[in-house]
Structure 1
Amino acid sequence: MPQPDHIAIYDLPDPADLDEDMRRYFAVCEEKLGMVPNVLRTYARHQDKLRNFIQYYNTLMLAPSGLSKLEREMVAVVVSSANRCFYCLVAHGQAVRALSGDPQLGEMLVMNYRVAPLSARQRAMLDFAWALTTTPWEVDAPHRAALVAAGLSEGEIFDLADVIGFFNMSNRFAIASDMMPNAQYHGMARESSTSSVLD
């Protein structure tokens, strides 16, 4: 059964009517991804917010960090699992499959990250992401100490908190917008490879 075929609840602009820089960016998305992610289509309703979203997202998720790209995507999925955000679970579950080469890992993180074969570092990160999302008022020094004990540096803890905070915000925006993921995500990166999440 296919998902609903809308992008979001809002009236969205025709991409051809966007400013030149945003048209170019959407063209790059089409070239590299084969689609324009619906979150970008939704933010295009307000182009200044779209530009800010793109800059923040790219800095957060793609720029150099002590956290690998896979680790950041894993955190995105676990936060989205706690929030039951359909858009982000589909989109970032696909990213986990692609980066790990393990289609089962994406599904485990979506449903219950505790069943996944994680390293101690990854488990500590995802435990922290779950706690900060579900019971943020309880997060205290022992939670941060567990990250240090798992080997995370101060800079990595900063980046981890930033990713968790961002996806809590974006989950809520996606849910409020009834945003649907691009249908292409569902079938992407479903073939296993020999790589492991613990590599």
Structure 2
Amino acid sequence: MNKAPISRFSTPEIADLPDDIRTRILTVQEKSGFVPNVFLVLARRPDEFRAFFTYYDALMDKPGNITKAEREMIVVTTSNANQCQYCVIAHGAILRIRAKNPLIADQVAINYRKADITDRQKAMLDYAMKVAFEAYAVNGADMGLLASHGFSEEDAWDIAAIAAFFGMSNRLANVTNMRPNDEFYTMGRS
């Protein structure tokens, strides 16, 4: 187990947190067996913690035409491009579990264009990458291409929102030097 600090910023003790945040963290710990470091790092600023996780839940835990595994593909792909170790490792673990595929996260993180995914998923990730790095250039042709793969206007919004939200998250994780929990590295691999 790695003993390096989880962040270059101080993190609060769980017992000292507001009740709602402490309850959420302990619920995650009970479900997963550990506390993901992102919870501890963001908990130092309770209002921002609440806002972050409210938006995260709205984007990542909703039903729809984009599966939860595909939502994680967006996170892993754009987070790798943003060089965010925490999000690639943590969301790679979630992707492996949600896709029930021990190889997919590594493939998507390294080069989604060569990954064993569908043409529809490649179009989704092409669009997510454009949003992440050239949002100013998104145009009607992008919407048309997504529509040709069965994505609705709402799906296009979701893909864009996930790429944008994790752009912010990637930057915070990098600035804080947030370390992935050791547990993430092996999750969903067997």
Deviation at 1:5, TM superposition (A): 1.8
List 4+ stretches of structure 1 deviating above 6 A.
Answer: none
Partner in structure 2 of residue 174 of structure 1: 173
Deviation at 1:146, TM superposition (A): 1.0
Unaligned 5+ segments in structure 1 are 192-199
Residues in 2 aligned to 1:10 and 1:68: alpha-carbon distance in whole angstroms: 34
Partner in structure 1 of residue 133 of structure 2: 134
Return the TM-score normalized by structure 1.
0.90
Deviation at 1:94, TM superposition (A): 0.6
Deviation at 1:66, TM superposition (A): 2.4
SS at 2:12 equivalent: coil
Residues in 2 aligned to 1:36 and 1:173: alpha-carbon distance in whole angstroms: 18
Deviation at 1:3, TM superposition (A): 5.7
Partner in structure 1 of residue 6 of structure 2: 7
SS at 2:9 equivalent: coil
Q: Residue by residue, what CA displacement relative to the aligned partner does 1:87-139 show, whole Å, maximum 9, x if unpaired?
A: 00000111111111211111001111111122121111001112222333332
Q: Residue by residue, what CA displacement relative to the aligned partner does 1:150-175 show, whole Å, maximum 9, x if unpaired?
A: 11011111111111111111011111
Q: Residue by residue, what CA displacement relative to the aligned partner does 1:25-74 show, whole Å, maximum 9, x if unpaired?
A: 11101111111111111111111111111111111101223211011000
Residues in 1 aligned to 2:150 and 2:63: alpha-carbon distance in whole angstroms: 18
Residues in 2 aligned to 1:168 and 1:3: alpha-carbon distance in whole angstroms: 26
Q: Is the 8 A contact 2:86 2:173 kept in 1?
A: yes
Residues in 2 aligned to 1:139 and 1:162: alpha-carbon distance in whole angstroms: 13
C-alpha root-mean-square deviation of aligned residues, in Å? 1.4
Residues in 1 aligned to 2:20 and 2:75: alpha-carbon distance in whole angstroms: 27
SS at 2:63 equivalent: coil
Q: Give the paired residue count.
A: 190
Q: Is the 8 A contact 1:82 1:134 kept in 2?
A: no
SS at 1:135 equivalent: helix
Residues in 1 aligned to 2:156 and 2:173: alpha-carbon distance in whole angstroms: 26
Partner in structure 2 of residue 35 of structure 1: 34
| 1:40-59 matches, cutoff 5 A | 40-59=39-58
Partner in structure 1 of residue 159 of structure 2: 160
Partner in structure 2 of residue 145 of structure 1: 144
Partner in structure 2 of residue 78 of structure 1: 77
Look up the equivalent residue of 1:73 and give its one-letter code: E
Return the TM-score normalized by structure 2.
0.95
Q: Is the 8 A contact 2:107 2:116 kept in 1?
A: no
Deviation at 1:78, TM superposition (A): 0.6
Look up the equivalent residue of 2:26 and give its one-letter code: A
Residues in 2 aligned to 1:15 and 1:87: alpha-carbon distance in whole angstroms: 21
Deviation at 1:4, TM superposition (A): 6.5
Deviation at 1:80, TM superposition (A): 0.5
Residues in 1 aligned to 2:158 and 2:171: alpha-carbon distance in whole angstroms: 20
